[in-house]
Copies of this chain bind each other. A is one copy, B any other.
Amino acid sequence: MNTMEEMGKRAKEAAVTLSVMGSAQKNQILLACADALLAAEEEILHANASDVSSAIAAGIKGAFIDRLQLNHKRICDMADGLKQVAALADPVGEVLSMHTMENGLIIGKKTVPMGVIGIIFEARPNVTADAFGLCLKAGSAVILRGGKEAFGSNQAIVSVFRSTLEGMGLPADFVQIVSDTSRETANAMMRLNGYLDVLIPRGGAGLIRSVVENSTVPVIQTGIGNCHIYVDESADLEKAIPIVLNAKTQRPGVCNACESLLVHEAIAEKFLPEMCRLLQEKTVEIRGDEATRSLFHDAVAATEEDWATEYEDYILATKVVKNIDEAIAHIRKYTTGHSEAIVTENYTNAQRFLNEVDAAAVYVNASTRFTDGGQFGFGAEIGISTQKLHARGPMGLKELTTTKYIIYGNGQIRS
């Protein structure tokens, strides 16, 4: 039995205890772990400083280092995150429906824990704490595999949780972290059938593609967002301009940021030059089709590749379309199924867009940046599912559970 299989076995055993644990005890664990994180600040920051200096020595810089780096405030945020999860309703044990058949069988459908959840993520140590908190509250054991650059930080954080659990007389294996960050362990995790009930990759397109390509365990794809905003002929420009600015520039590096702007030809002359100028002020590069470039001369020529690219950067692909049909057809061709928006005052076009665009979240007259567990009122989230099975859109605690049919009989047999 290899190491990954042993981890799977231990997680599966621990999950049995966790699956029948009441909310009070789960919340007690979360609060104790939050306190323990704060108490261990010094060790965690020490481990993190060493990760950060190795990363810098390896030539890594910019946003990557920012995501890797911890400080007092970020440790407080992780602890607060665990406390917030403790305050959320327990998703386990809800009877979603119950009905009685003619033969007297009472058939109920109840939410139950997944069992063992695997999460593969990149070098963001805060994900370690968030994922543990959500999985624990959802009644599942978790096996984490973080990016190699955050190795020391992740080990430090997980060992705080494991010691806290042991101190409470509970299985430390509610949470485990893979101690070998080679590609082999990731591949082994993707094929841990019989132990892992679901594997959730959190990270860039490359990671997600690799997991989809290689996994034999069930996977939930998350977070690839080539999001569009379509500004319709009837759009109120006082809504359209702030929405596009917000969706593109409020935080361009995230999956719900806007990557492509589509504009109805009848409103293009009135809207596009002003819109592009305001975006340019925020350092956004416009990559436009011919019609866009004739209205805004600073625009670079967009290529086929631009329509399909999730920039996660200060770049916006821009295209003038004949009508809503062309807009919907373009979105259908290039969408990654994350978040899509229309700005319109036309009732029929709003309804058509909501019905005909196939994505996790479809907006009328609002920024795509709202696709987020917190903004939807679900509390913390484990990611944004961009696939159609099990969960679609922001995944909160509820999406980390499954269901079971419970059937009360009094001797029924099938005839």
Binding site for B on A (CB under 8 A): 16, 19-20, 99, 101, 105, 107, 112, 114-115, 193, 197-198, 212-213, 216, 218-220, 236, 238-239, 242-243, 245-247, 250, 332, 354-356, 358-367, 369-371, 375-377, 387-390, 392-393, 402-415
Contacts and interface: CB of A to CB of B under 8 A. Distances in A.
A25 to B, nearest CB: 15
20 contacts: A20-B355, A101-B377, A115-B388, A193-B212, A197-B388, A218-B218, A218-B388, A250-B413, A359-B404, A363-B409, A364-B408, A366-B407, A367-B412, A367-B413, A371-B405, A375-B414, A376-B405, A389-B389, A392-B405, A393-B404
Given A402-B389, A403-B392, A377 B218 contact: no
Contacts of A390: 389-390
Contacts of A365: 408-412
Contact of A389 (B19, B198, B412, B415): B198
Nearest to A246: B413
Identify whether the interface residues of A are mostly helix, strand, loop, or mixed: mixed
B216 A370 contact: no
A22 to B, nearest CB: 11
Of listed A376, A388, A410, residue having the most chain B CB within 10 A:
A388
Contacts of A355: 20
A201 to B, nearest CB: 13
Contacts of A107: 376-377
A361 B411 contact: no
Given A197-B388, A198-B388, A366-B413, 17 more contacts: A107-B377, A193-B212, A212-B216, A218-B389, A238-B411, A242-B411, A250-B414, A361-B405, A362-B404, A364-B407, A366-B411, A369-B414, A370-B407, A370-B412, A389-B402, A390-B390, A393-B405
